Chain A
Amino acid sequence: MSMIDIKVAAVEQVTPLVKHFTFVKRDGSPFPAFSGGSHVVVSMNVGGRVHRNPYSLMGSPADTDAYHISVRKQEQSRGGSVFMHENVEVGTSLQITYPVNLFSLAKKAHKHILIAGGIGITPFMSQLIDLNRLNANFELHYAFRSPEHGAFADKLKAICSDKLHCYADSKGERLDLLALLSKQPLGTHVYVCGPNPMVVAVIETARNLGWPENHIHSEQFLSPGIGEPFKIQLAKSNIEVHVPAEMSMLEAIEAAGVEADYLCRGGVCGRCEVNVLESDGALLHHDHFLTDAEKAAGKKIMPCVSRARCDRLVLDL
């Protein structure tokens, strides 16, 4: 996959857990344009091992001089977010992929309800600029642990004015999803990005109120979980690959020198889907992409986040 060489131009501590990074191109030329909700995958060399993490682009889509991302330091990090926090500083060189949008705004929507939880605010930062430019009807509902964790709240107030609604858990402020979603005008679309329980709650509430599926949008990049080590056979490459506990199948495949396709690396997009040729145990599907029926059938797996518990697993790679 072709990459863009970048250099870190600025680093800012936004909240106790969130750092904001500004990237410029190493050769000084402008970045490709992108649309609100896009993300890039940042490649990091962490002690000889390549980590690739997806992060939403946050700046104005009209600004191609710099790209902006924010990284939350994960408590149970596999190394990527900690590396970004502790090792990346002004001047650091990194590589990123070209932007991809898996969370775009619905062009025909009459109204947009954006719901963010914590670091889930990031994809909305660029979408808000698009919405303002289009003079669109929108509301942003932003929930966070406590005011000190409400990243970019001041900036958001400037962008959204009275369209911004904040909920600080520490102050006992709660977002009442049922009340919010039960009285929206026809043509409204809802978008959610945040922790899993929040994403599930929004999707379920909207569905139960009769919202059509295509009016409900969500984005949640999963980080590949830590699990039991296992072995896989790659049929086309004719090699055996060991997947360590703290490495994803996709990372192990890449480390073995086999080029596998990917886009989001977070179980969302479906690009890395691989056919399972043989397996004698359980596939541990962690993605949001395959349907329940496909997961049960066991013929496909998303190596970016999923794992397996079996003695023999043969992939069509």
Chain B
Amino acid sequence: MERGYWIRSKPVYTSLLWHEKATSHLVVAQGQGGMAVLKLFQLMHPKQAITVLYTPYAEADYSKTLVKVVPEGLHILEAEQEVLAKLESVLQGMCMGMRLYIAGSEDFMWSVAKVANKFGIEDAGMMKELTGTLARPIYCVHCKATTHGVTTNIGECSGCGRMLFVRDHFSRQLGAYMGLMIDAESPGELPEIEEIYP
């Protein structure tokens, strides 16, 4: 990829930090994101109420340490779907001034963001830390299917089977990177497929 190449839509993630001014805090994390939560709790504790939703993922399971570190309001859940369901019920009772913190893979963070969007929480109102894998969710601009966890520069669409060039162009609405057919001009002729999002 060309040096200095930059696409405005590509999200910029940061490290989680407590918002000094908030009336409550909601932390949602997955797998390796548990470490981001632990780091957050190494910082000075906010006085306001804190809720933490966590789900282990693959080998990354910080549940045991989180139970020791998070004083109250911790919910360990088994899978992403449970996190999203719990999130939905938690958000229902919350007011403006609540700040949302998300840590995990891009797939996970944008699934959480989609639920938060339903409650009128906008992108700028969420803090996100990318942890663990760099694997990308890819939206096929041809058949509109989303393929999750793509780690290569070219990936096969789970919807239509086209080989997609994985771009940096990101849609916050869809929570995925745009992928477009790489061999449309010359069917079957593919550059070398490399893992660049391990």
Q: Hey, which bits of chain A sit against chain B, CB under 8 A? A: 108-111, 181-188, 207-215
Is there an interface contact between A214 and B122, defined as CB atoms closer than 8 Å?
Answer: yes
B97 to chain A, nearest CB (A): 4
B120 touches A187 (CB 8 A): yes
Does B120 lie within 8 Å of A108, measured CB to CB?
yes
Give min CB distance, B102 to chain A, whole Å. Answer: 15
Task: Give chain A residues whose Cβ lies under 8 Å from the Cβ of B91.
Answer: 186
Contacts of B121 in A (CB 8 A): 186-187
Query: Which residues of B have CB within 8 Å of A215?
Result: 96, 122, 125
The segment from B15-23, B138-146, B161-169 that touches chain A is B15-23
Asked if B99 is at the interface (CB within 8 A of a chain A CB), the reply is yes
**Could you say which residues of chain B place their CB within 8 Å of the CB of A214?**
122, 124-125
Check if B120 sits within 8 Å of A188, measured CB to CB.
yes
- A181's partner among B21, B96, B122 (CB-CB below 8 A) is B96
Bound complex: CA A186 to CA B122 (Å): 10
**In whole angstroms, what is the CA distance A110 to B116 when docked?**
12
B120 touches A212 (CB 8 A): no
Query: 22 pairs across A/B with beta carbons < 8 Å?
Result: A109-B120, A110-B120, A111-B120, A181-B96, A182-B23, A185-B95, A186-B91, A186-B95, A186-B96, A187-B96, A187-B119, A187-B120, A187-B121, A209-B21, A209-B23, A210-B19, A210-B23, A210-B96, A211-B96, A212-B122, A212-B124, A214-B125
Complex Cα distance A111/B120, Å? 9
**B-side contacts of A111, CB under 8 Å:** 120
Complex Cα spacing A185 to B23, Å: 13
Most buried by A among B19, B97, B124: B97
B120 engages A210 (CB within 8 Å): no
Is B67's CB within 8 Å of the partner chain A? no
B52 → A minimal CB distance (Å): 18
Q: In the assembled complex, which residues on chain A have CB atoms less than 8 Å from the CB atom of B19?
A: 210
Contact yes or no, B120 A182, CB < 8 A: no
Chain B 64-95 interface 0/1 with A at a Cβ cutoff of 8 Å (1 = within): 00000000000000000000000000010011
B150 interfacial by beta-carbon distance below 8 Å: no
CA–CA, A208 and B19, complex, Å: 11
Please give me the residue from chain B that is nearest to A189 by CB atom: B120
Please, how many angstroms separate the alpha-carbon atoms of A207 and B119 in the complex? 20
Most interface-central of A109, A188, A210 (chain B CB within 10 A): A210
Q: From known contacts A108-B120, A108-B122, infer whether A186 and B94 are also in contact, taking CB-CB under 8 Å.
A: yes
- The reply to whether the CB of B98 lies closer than 8 angstroms to some CB of chain A is yes
In angstroms, Cα B19 to Cα A207, docked, is 11
Contact A208 B21 (CB under 8 A): yes
A212 CB contacts on chain B under 8 angstroms: 122, 124-125
Task: Write the nearest CB–CB distance from B18 to chain A, whole angstroms.
Answer: 11
A181 CA / B101 CA spacing, docked (Å): 22
Give B88 Cβ to nearest chain A Cβ, in Å. Answer: 12
> Considering the complex of A and B, which 9 residue pairs feature the smallest CB-CB distances, nearest first?
A187-B120, A210-B22, A210-B97, A110-B120, A212-B125, A184-B96, A186-B119, A209-B97, A210-B21
Beta-carbon contacts under 8 Å, B93-147 to A: 94-99, 119-122, 124-125
Q: B17-36 interface mask toward A, CB cutoff 8 Å, 1 = contact, 0 = none?
A: 00101110000000000000
Q: How many angstroms between the C-alpha atoms of A209 and B99 in the bound complex?
A: 10
Extra inter-chain contacts (11) besides given A210-B99, A211-B96, CB under 8 Å: A111-B120, A182-B97, A186-B94, A186-B98, A187-B121, A188-B120, A208-B21, A209-B21, A212-B125, A213-B124, A214-B122
A115 to chain B, nearest CB (A): 14
Give Cα A212 to B124, complex, Å. 7
- Separation of A181 and B21 alpha carbons in the complex (Å): 14
- Compute how far the CA of A213 lies from the CA of B99 in the bound complex, rounded to whole angstroms: 12
Chain A residue nearest to B125 in the complex (CB): A212
